[in-house]
Amino acid sequence: MKKNILMAFIAFVLLASCGGSGTKTTERNKGTSSEVVDANLVNVYYFHGKQRCKTCIAVGNVTKETVETAYSNNANVKFSEILTTEKEYENLFEKYEVSWNALIIAKGDDFVDITEQAFATAVSNPESLTNLIKNEVNKRLNQ
């Protein structure tokens, strides 16, 4: 229990240190993304700002490496790294309630936000993040 509280606190501090304001823009242009959502495709989205800390970079690197290594022969799994300043993805920012850093695994309307766990483990225990990503992707592949 104490470990979970400590991990949540560390994740919060790391997320806050990366410059996120936690506020959402309420006016958005819907349907402007060039991203076409395929109901059979599992998308692993890593959203981040231009300025990134060590942990932000680690989350992106571990996630990209995991998807490329574990699913290199699976056309139904796609990794996308998206800058939160890219206006063409505003519909994804709104759909997943993203305003800055986030790690989302989605298949159609089924998605999970594993940002907190990712930031808590990417630097200190990358294997844990790799396993979490694989578990969440596999759940969606088997649906």
Predicted confidence (pLDDT) at residue 114 exceeds the cutoff of 90: yes
Predicted confidence (pLDDT) at residue 106 exceeds the cutoff of 80: yes
Share of the chain above pLDDT 70, in %: 74
- The average confidence (pLDDT) of the chain is 82
* Residue 3 pLDDT class (50, 70, 90 cuts): low
Predicted confidence (pLDDT) at residue 33 exceeds the cutoff of 50: no
C-alpha distances (whole Å) from 25 to each of 28, 29, 83, 98 are 7, 11, 15, 10
What was the pLDDT predicted at 22? 36
**Which residue is it, tokens 């490329």?**
68
| Residues in a beta bridge with 104 | 45, 113
Share of the chain above pLDDT 90, in %: 66
Region 86-114: what's the mean pLDDT? 93
Reported as a single tens digit per residue, the pLDDT across 48-65 is 999 999 999 999 999 999
What was the pLDDT predicted at 62? 98
First to last CA, the chain: 32
Region 23-41: what's the mean pLDDT? 46
Distant-in-sequence, close-in-space partners of 23: CB < 8 Å, separation ≥ 6 = 99
